Amino acid sequence: MQLEKYKIQSHNEDVLAGHQRKLAYTLSEVENAESIIQKLVDFQIAIPSWALGTGGTRFGRFSGGGEPRSLEEKIEDVGLLHSLNQASGAISLHIPWDIPQNAQAIKVLAAQHGLKFDAVNSNTFQDQPNQTHSYKFGSLQNVNKAIRKQAIDHNIEVIKQGIELGSESLTVWLSDGSCFPGQLNFRKAYQNTLESLEEIYAALPDNWKLFLEYKCAEPNFYSTTVGDWGQSYSYVKKLGDKAFTLVDLGHHLPNANIEQIVSLLLMEGKLGGFHFNDSKYGDDDLTAGALKPYQLFLIFNELVEGMDARGMNHATDLGWMIDASHNVKDPLEDLLQSVEAIMTAYAQALFVDKKALEIAQEENDVVRCQEILQNAFRTDVRALVAEARLRAGGALNPIALYRNLKVRENLIQERGLKAVSTGL
């Protein structure tokens, strides 16, 4: 399904007066509004191919119908999102769930929707049909060299697929670890993993980055071989200049200070990318900002401060991606909500009075520090986010338009109620 431009324009005309009223007020409150709007226009968040179908849990999966049945249809869905919000201009593929039959044709299709290919993701956390060796006891860490070799070869194959598509980064997330004390020699598991990563790293083209994602637990419940940011940092530091740590918000122990982690990784020049989601208990993969919007803002505050300190380009120097999957929402509506929450937190962070904050910090004026941060967080910047969308050619209210146009109903008609997305 394609969204014609005139439908977006006509929706925008319908709600323009209300938008302009809110915008006028926000402009009177936010001095640097113009520069915030421009930064929002430039900011793009990649959509993972596995978030387009209904996410399941280990207990069940309740498909909402009209899910994309092929890579082509996944690209179509991200194209739909992008035409609505003009902020989802990239797709992140998961190999082998999304191996293109014809890379050139897929590239052309993506370009027609204004999409680029973000990081490609390898998968050694499942066994694939016809695979020689099993990853039951880990992949890159495995005590068996032949199994490690198979996992290394898979990652190199993913890099090759990515090159074909014009991607420039590989994300490695390992489920490697152990479920019981004594099962693993931690040091040997680390060394095997490092050696394996070194072989993968050696296959990276010069202009590529390798992102090493960490996770505290699950599916292994005693130890994880890349378990936290310190462990990831220790690997990527040894690998070289093209290797970075990737932060997934849901991959921390409860109450971890993620904003501090982000700040220090940026300081070390080793923060590479981000996976957005929200959680209450563990890796819940809920909609970004659904539970802890203040934490999301605090993270963005450190991102903006840290990137500016290093003279980095906010839009292009880090990889931004959503990593969430849903059982009870329409996945496309959910992704629109996530992107909106991310944009809002980013806009609020851009509104923080950094000079005043620095002075207050130097004077140990703790009360003033809190006032400055919370003033930015409590300022309603939604009109700036909407204005950025409007200027970029998107819809003022993407979810309302999505519902008015009955997009899901159309997709169900086109693809069927029982269509199940490949992947999760």
Span of 47-55, 122-130, 189-197, 317-325 interacting with Mn ion by CB under 5 A: 317-325
Out of 323, 334, 340, 387, the only residue in the binding site for Mn ion (CB under 5 A) is 323
Which backbone phi and psi does 20 adopt, to 5 degrees? -65, -35
If one asks whether residue 39 binds Mn ion (CB under 5 A), the answer comes out as no
Question: Residue 138: which residues within 8 A CB-CB, separation 6 or more?
Answer: 147, 174, 175, 176, 177, 189, 225
H-type helices in 135-257, by residue range?
A: 145-165, 186-202, 229-239
The residue (of 154 and 275) whose beta carbon lies closer to Mn ion is 275
Question: Where in 229-248 is the site for Mn ion (CB under 5 A)?
Answer: 248
Q: Minimal distance in Å, beta carbon 209 to Mn ion? A: 16
- The nearer residue to Mn ion, 323 or 330, going by C-beta atoms, is 323
Closest contact distance (angstroms) between CB of 213 and Mn ion is: 5
Binding part of the chain for Mn ion, among 16-24, 181-189, 224-232, 270-278 by CB under 5 A, reads 270-278
Contact 262, 303 (CB under 8 A): yes
Nearer to Mn ion, 276 or 297 (CB): 276
Query: From the CB of 78, what's the least distance to Mn ion, in Å?
Result: 17
- Residue 155 and residue 162: Cα distance in Å, rounded? 10
Choose between 19 and 94: whose C-beta lies nearer to Mn ion. 94
Contact predicate 84/368, CB 8 Å? no
Kindly state the tokens that stand for 372.
């400055």
| Smallest gap from residue 126 Cβ to Mn ion (A) | 15
Among 113, 275, 389, 415, binds Mn ion (CB under 5 A): 275
- In whole angstroms, give the CA distance from residue 47 to residue 91: 5
The H-or-E segment that residue 308 falls in is helix 293-309
User: Could you give the CA distance from residue 87 to residue 402 in angstroms, rounded to a whole number?
Assistant: 15
Residues in the interface with Mn ion (CB under 5 A) total 3
DSSP of 337-391, one letter per residue? HHHHHHHHHHHHHHHS-HHHHHHHHHTT-HHHHHHHHHHHHHS--HHHHHHHHHH
Segment interacting with Mn ion (CB under 5 A) among 41-49, 93-101, 274-282, 349-357: 274-282
Q: Which residues bind Mn ion (CB under 5 A)?
A: 248, 275, 323
